[in-house]
Amino acid sequence: MNSRKDTTNLRRRLLTWYAGNGRVFPWRTVPTDPYVVLVSEVMLQQTQAARIAERLPLFLAEFPSIRHLAAASNGTMIRAWKGLGYNSRALRLRDAAAMITEHYDGIVPASVQTLRTLPGIGPYASAAIACFAYGVRAVVLDVNVRRVYSRWMQRCERTTDVAALRDIEAFAADVIPTRNADTWHHAVMDLGATICTARAPLCRTCPLQRHCPSANAMAQATRERKAEPTFRGEPIRLWRGRIVKHLSDHDSRTLRQLFRDVTGTTATASDLAWLHTVVHKLRTDGLVSLDGDVVSLPG
Ligand code: SF4
| CATH classification at residue 150 | 1.10.1670.10
Measured from the Cα of 206, ligand 1's closest atom is 6
Q: Is residue 221 part of a domain?
A: no
Q: Are residues 248 and 267 in the same domain?
A: yes
Calpha distance 195→111 (Å, rounded): 32
- CATH code for position 111: 1.10.340.30
Identify the residue with better confidence: 293 or 117: 117
Residue 217, in any domain of the structure: no
In terms of domains, do 124 and 53 share one? yes
- What local confidence, expressed as pLDDT, does residue 63 receive? 98
Same domain, 285 and 245: yes
Domain boundary among 101, 134, 167: 134
CATH number, domain at 247?
1.10.10.10
Q: What is the mean pLDDT of the chain?
A: 91
Counting atoms of ligand 1 from 1, which one is nearest the CA of 212? 4
Shared domain for 130 and 160, answered yes or no, is: no
Using the 3D structure, point to which of 113, 134, 155 is the last residue of a domain. 134
pLDDT tens track for 29-85:
778 999 999 999 999 988 888 889 999 999 999 999 999 999 999 999 999 998 898
- At residue 3, the pLDDT reads 76
Q: Do the bridges between strand 289-291 and strand 294-296 make them parallel or antiparallel, or are there none, so unpaired?
A: antiparallel
Q: Are residues 125 and 37 in the same domain?
A: yes
99 is a domain residue: yes
Same domain, 109 and 151: no
pLDDT at 186: 96
Mutate to test the pocket of ligand 1, among 6, 151, 157, 160 (most ligand atoms within 8 A of CB): 151
Among the candidates 117, 134, 151, a domain finishes at 134
Residues 150 and 104 in one domain: no
pLDDT of 222 reads 42
Indicate whether 263 belongs to any domain.
yes
Amino acid at 94: R
Cα distances (Å, whole numbers) of residue 84 to 40, 94, 225: 12, 15, 22
Atom 8 of ligand 1, residue of closest alpha carbon = 196
Q: Is residue 103 assigned to a domain?
A: yes
Indicate if 113 and 127 belong to the same structural domain.
yes
User: What domain count does the chain have?
Assistant: 3
Q: Do residues 153 and 93 both lie within one domain?
A: no
Gap from CA of 208 to ligand 1 centroid (Å)? 6
Identify whether 69 is part of a domain: yes
Our mutation pick for probing the ligand 1 site, out of 162, 206, 210, 218, counting the most ligand atoms within 8 A of Cβ, is 206
In-domain check, residue 149: yes
Structural domain containing residue 277 = 230-296
Give catalytic residues, as residue numbers: 41
Q: pLDDT at residue 232 above 70?
A: yes
pLDDT at 223: 44
Q: Is residue 223 part of a domain?
A: no
Query: Is the domain of 93 the same as that of 156?
Result: no
Model confidence over 267-277: pLDDT tens digits?
A: 998 899 999 99
Q: What is the per-residue pLDDT for 298?
A: 87
What's the pTM value of the predicted model, to 2 decimals? Answer: 0.75
- Cβ–Cβ contacts within 10 Å for residue 141, how many? 19
